[in-house]
Structure 1
Amino acid sequence: MSAPATRDSSMIATPGASTSVITVSGLGKTYATGHVALKDVSLDIRRGEIFALLGPNGAGKTTLISIICGLVNATAGTVEVAGYDIVTDYRAARSRIGLVPQELTTDSFESVWATVSFSRGLFGRKANPAYIEKVLRSLSLWDKKDARIMTLSGGMKRRVLIAKALSHEPEVLFLDEPSAGVDVELRRDMWRLVRELRDEGVTIILTTHYLEEAEEMADRVGVIAKGELILVEEKATLMRKLGKKQLTVELTTPLAALPQALADFGLALSDDGTRLTYTYATNREGDDDGLSIAGLLAALSSEGIAFKDLHTEQSSLEDIFVSLVRREP
């Protein structure tokens, strides 16, 4: 799977333009039932980045995406896409956006070619068979171009949704839970395509329950909970600031209790006395916060405590996400 084609320069921002392609200001959404889906959300998404929007079910992710894409009306606030207001300049703003929704919604009786070509026309783009062919080939759909959607597997239907979203050469691509229910091969191919699109200057916004994908793919991460955006951070910075590292020391001889000389390290001794666990944070690449590992090993040596093995573990993005959401009242 490879990027579909050289992009039409008329759809890409010119040099010197704002670094933000999406600007969300004071966004709120309250439904007629009284349910508050979004509360005063403000967010800037940069051109050419992969932005992962994370949150538990019902947090407001899909509502936020739907408002940005002009599918749901906000109760308060504004949204601009490439400098166009999503309400007052709807056509211009929406034409910059490609959306791959969670649900498989396609015209079952149409062919793949007709569906993708029609989607391009909906955005006022001139027919471009060469471009549509490249999109279909990039998604391994060319052999299915004449097949009716209803005859395709779930994974192939997901590919068609991506092709539809790319058909009009959008500047921004939304992927709402794109990996839900797809096989490993499609997931791998899809992320390869996402990287290539990002390299061409397309901004990618994704929501996902597969946090290892967000950890691997995203440049920045936003966390939303109960309709509020509780954090937006560079992924690497987030991992440094909130990630924890643990050093586990496997002892040669079990300890009945920790020696007083080791008390300052905040060590945890396993119930059977065979393992010591040292938990520490990192504030700069390669630096540990507080007492050093070298100091700990020296202290063990001075106390005559021998060890046979040691290993380290670091918090994943999933660990950080869970801890952030649990902090919310």
Structure 2
Amino acid sequence: MEQKNILSVKNLKKIYSNKQAGDNLALNDLNLDVKEGEIFGLLGPNGAGKTTFINILAGTVVKTAGRVSVWGFDLDKNPRQVRASVGIVPQEVNLDPFFSPRKLLELQAGLYGIKEKDRITDTILKLVSLEKQANSYARSLSGGMKRRLLMAKALVHQPPIVILDEPTAGVDVELRQNLWKNVKLLNELGVTIILTTHYLEEAEEMCGRIAILNKGNIVALDSTKNLLDRIQTKKVTFKTDIKININDDDLESLKIVSHLDNEVCVSYEKNKINIEELINLIKKNNVKIIDISTDDGDLEDVFLRLIKN
């Protein structure tokens, strides 16, 4: 079944004008579609335009040109419906320390004009595993709980799209795994997720498709798998019974990364060398190969290549 677009962005531009410094082009002709039910990653270095993009959807920044539609609503014609269709989990923790999670969610529901009988506060608290802390002061919550409470706040009006802005910036590994689990759960319930991040492993772990932004331009937009397939360089480590004699120019594109007594790590380009040639080269010296481990490279390699170009 063809998934339909839940968010569609055409030629989106944002220019910040500054009399002293001149114009700053934060978004330059951005085109992208997000499909219903996917986890979509928006990656890029700081200042790439990710936050500007989110703020335009949130209604806190006014675009310069272009079209944005969410859930079929046009941002210019139906700004309120667009805002109601999006839940945003901000980067910084901005919670009132003297309210309990339940109270905060009830207040948030009130702001959205949701009638008491239609509120799903308890369901949301359960979803982010805060039902036990429902009535504790927000200031007594741990960092991880506060992050989950921010997520809960974004869910109060049951938006079809949730945007997570750098959700795991500055959090420890365990907490990151926990948040990922929560996000996947939310996605399984049918919520479309847009995730901005500069942690590439996060994008690799979570996102089906990724757009890479640099200086306001999309430099790549593809499935995570295709982006990873674009990496040409492969690394291989060989453990051998004796030290081997091997040089950079023995095969085209071969580079010795490190060479210890009986362990050598080399990199090569997949389209120039196949692994058999490499194994034959090593065996030529009457050497026994005890172990081989390969490293396929990760999104970081794609990212750096795209941003360099």
C-alpha distance in structure 2 between counterparts of 1:157 and 1:272, whole Å:
47
Q: Which residue of 1 aligns with 2:13?
A: 28
Verify the 8 A CA contact 2:253 2:269 in the aligned structure 1: no
Q: 1:45 to 1:271 in 2, by over 3 A?
A: same
Farther-moved stretch of structure 1 (58-67 vs 267-276): 267-276
SS of the residue corresponding to residue 58 of structure 1 reads coil
| Residue 218 (str. 1) matches residue 203 (str. 2) | no
Aligned equivalents of 1:180, 1:220: Cα separation in 2: 21
TM-score, scaled to structure 2: 0.87
Structure 2 counterpart of 1:285: none
Shift of residue 313, structure 1, vs aligned partner: 1.1
Change (3 A) 1:258 1:181: closer
Q: What's 2:4 paired with?
A: 19
Please say if residues 86 and 163 of structure 2, whose CA atoms lie closer than 8 Å, have aligned partners that are also in contact: yes
Please give the alpha-carbon distance, in whole angstroms, between the structure 2 residues aligned to 1:310 and 1:60: 42
Query: Which of 31, 39, 52 matches 1:42?
Result: 31
Counterparts of 1:35-184 in structure 2, within 5 Å, are 35-128=24-117, 131-184=120-173
Written as runs of structure 1 = structure 2, the 5 A alignment for 1:284-323 is: 289-302=271-284, 304=286, 306-323=288-305
Q: Paired residue for 1:229?
A: 218
CA RMSD of aligned residues (A): 2.6
Question: Which residue identity is paired with 2:293?
Answer: H
What is the rounded CA distance, in whole Å, between the counterparts of 2:198 and 2:82 in structure 1?
28
Post-superposition offset of 1:243: 5.2
Cα shift at 1:187: 2.5
Matched to 1:322, the amino acid is L
2:250 matches 1:268: no
The verdict on how the C-alpha distance between 1:266 and 1:36 changes in structure 2, with shifts beyond 3 A counting, is closer
- Hey, what's the Cα distance between the residues in 2 that align with 1:148 and 1:254? 63
State the shift of 1:230 in Å.
0.8
The 3-state SS of whatever aligns with 1:137 is: helix
Deviation at 1:248, TM superposition (A): 2.8
Q: Deviations over 1:199-233 (max 9, x none)?
A: 22211011123221211111011111111111111
List gaps (5 residues or longer) in structure 2. Answer: none
| Cα distance in 2, alignment partners of residues 204 and 114 from structure 1 | 26
* 1:242 match: secondary structure: coil
1:196 to 160, 185, 188: 185
**Residue 114 of structure 1 aligns to a residue in which SS?**
helix
Counterparts in 2 of 1:115 and 1:257: CA distance versus 1, 3 Å? closer
1:76 alignment partner AA: A
